[in-house]
Amino acid sequence: MAHPLKSTKAHSLTGHVRVPGDKSISHRALILGALSSGQTKITGLLESDDVLATANALQNLGAVITKMDDCYNVTGCGTGGLCPSSPDISVALDFGNSGTGSRLMMGVVAGHDICAQFQGDDSLSRRPMGRVLKPLKRMGLNISETDKDTFPLTLKGNSDLIPITYELPVASAQVKSAVLLAGLMTEGQTCVIEPARTRDHTERMLAYFGAKLDIISRDHGRMITLHGPAELHGKDIVVPSDPSSAAFLTAAALLCPDSDITVKGVLINPTRFGFYQTLLEMGAHIELENERMEGGEPVADLRVMSSRLHGVDVPAERAPSMIDEYPCLAVVAAFATGETKMHGLSELRVKECDRLSVTAAGLQACGIPHLIKGDDLYVQGQDQVRGGAVIHTELDHRIAMSFLVLGLATEEPITVDDITMIATSFPQFIDLIQSLGARFEESKT
Ligand code: S3P
């Protein structure tokens, strides 16, 4: 059942908060824990629907995952050691809304003698899986359905996978990670060449768990070589706060007058920092305090104050480092002086929904001048934004959160048609932002 919510103008947002653990790192911590020998203890795991679907899939494949207090304990099966309780029949793995969980797990299943049916919700079942299947097929994965590349799909893994060299046609951390995870279970070198640098949590964590990797910078991207078969050893992991979730609170504080908030322990890995870099270029008052390393990743407390912003050009090369933040940036850009030009957004079309079109439709409904030109989005900022619309979120958590944030600063309230999908990445969003002073009301749309 859809749960609509109305967002109304907020005066100021103040206070200190911590957003939940990073989604990308949470998926990977569970997966590498399950592929290791021994125990992996994860503190700060994001307990969202997407991540719990990955945990569930790993449990269906034989990993033991338990929770004690705030800590998840994964008893790994060793590299190549996953095995479902009935190995002779196909095991159903339901990933809900999660592109990351499902694509990473395709790489994992590829290297095991396991037959698994991959399935998900309506949004996930529309997303292209060919980009992951293509390299995995070259390595030896079999797919029962030969004529389609969308879920449901039945994959037959193979413990004799062949290592490959694969040049990614699109900058995708999910595809890179799926190939590297499959490479763990091969005899030899698996090499992935990325055209632009994408989030590097898989590489960082693989090295931390004991895999041998060589990484060479090439043009804008990198060449990553993994030496298989790899032996991974269970580790302790502290998951830093998710910068993609912190983005919504940051945007809200920038737009609401007299705001001053601090979001604690946020991941500031350069491959995830594009949104904040762009905001700083727009004149945002954001301070990085207490910069430090936590669990092998750089983190900082982000202090954000209301700011008068100006439009900027966001280059296409920056897209991988802020790919999930464009709907939120579009909302911020609506209040900047002048135009904000976001270039190279083709990948937005294959996210939880076509985020380029759905963001543009939301801007249109709220009276914000904008233009889609090829794969670019131009947003013309205004002093006052009308709002007063119902936003169709199309099963997309980030569309829902972005437009709820917009409604905190528009003249008329904004209603999003359904907030249930927010639980896929940031279940505490409504409570946390209300604790800072935001106002939402129940609505019948
Ligand atoms: C993710 C990679 C990104 C991002 C997604 C999480 C990951 O997707 O959009 O939310 O954890 O690897 P692509 O790698 O497909 O761009």
CA-proximal residue: ligand 1, atom 5 (nearest): 100
Q: What pLDDT shows up at residue 219?
A: 83
Q: Which atom of ligand 1 is nearest to the CA of 28?
A: 11
Q: Which atom of ligand 1 is nearest to the CA of 351?
A: 9
Ligand 1 mean position, distance from CA 100 (Å): 6
Q: In a structure prediction context, what are the per-residue pLDDT tens digits for the chain, which is 445 residues long?
A: 999 999 999 999 999 999 999 999 999 999 999 999 999 999 999 999 999 999 999 999 999 999 999 999 999 999 999 999 998 899 999 999 999 999 999 999 999 999 999 999 999 999 999 999 999 999 999 999 989 999 999 999 999 999 999 999 999 999 999 999 999 999 999 999 999 999 999 999 999 999 999 999 988 899 999 999 999 999 999 999 999 999 999 999 999 999 999 999 999 999 999 999 999 999 999 999 999 998 779 999 999 999 999 999 999 999 999 999 999 999 999 999 999 999 999 999 999 999 999 999 999 999 999 999 999 999 999 999 999 999 999 999 999 999 999 999 999 999 999 999 999 999 999 999 999 999 999 998 7
Q: What pLDDT shows up at residue 295?
A: 72
Q: What pLDDT shows up at residue 444?
A: 84
Q: What pLDDT shows up at residue 190?
A: 98
Ligand 1 mean position, distance from CA 109 (Å): 19
Q: Taking the model in full, what pTM does it have?
A: 0.98
CA-proximal residue: ligand 1, atom 13 (nearest): 172
Among 28, 172, 347, 355, which residue has the most ligand 1 atoms within 8 Å of its CB, making it the best to mutate? 172
Q: Which atom of ligand 1 is nearest to the CA of 23?
A: 11
Would you please indicate which residues are annotated as catalytic (active-site) residues? 324
Q: What pLDDT shows up at residue 215?
A: 98
Q: What pLDDT shows up at residue 220?
A: 85
Q: For the chain, what is the HEC assignment? A: CCCCEEEECCCCCEEEECCCECHHHHHHHHHHHHCCECEEEEECCCCCHHHHHHHHHHHHCCCEEEEECCEEEEECCCCCCCCCCCCCCCEEEECCCCHHHHHHHHHHHHCCCCEEEEECCCCHHHCCCHHHHHHHHHHCCEECCCCCCCCCEEEECCCCCCCCEEECCCCCHHHHHHHHHHHCCCCEEEEEEECCCCCCHHHHHHHHCCCEEEEEEECCEEEEEEEECCCCECCEEECCECHHHHHHHHHHHHHCCCCEEEEEEEECCHHHCHHHHHHHHCCCEEEEEEEEEECCEEEEEEEEECCCCECCEECHHHHHHHHHHHHHHHHHHCCCECEEEECCCHHHHHCCCCHHHHHHHHHHHCCCCEEEECCEEEEECCCCCCECCEECCCCCHHHHHHHHHHHCCCCECEEECCCHHHHHCCCCHHHHHHHCCCEEEECCC
Ligand 1: which residues within 6 Å by Cβ?
24, 100, 172-174, 177, 198-199, 323-324, 347
Q: What pLDDT shows up at residue 296?
A: 79
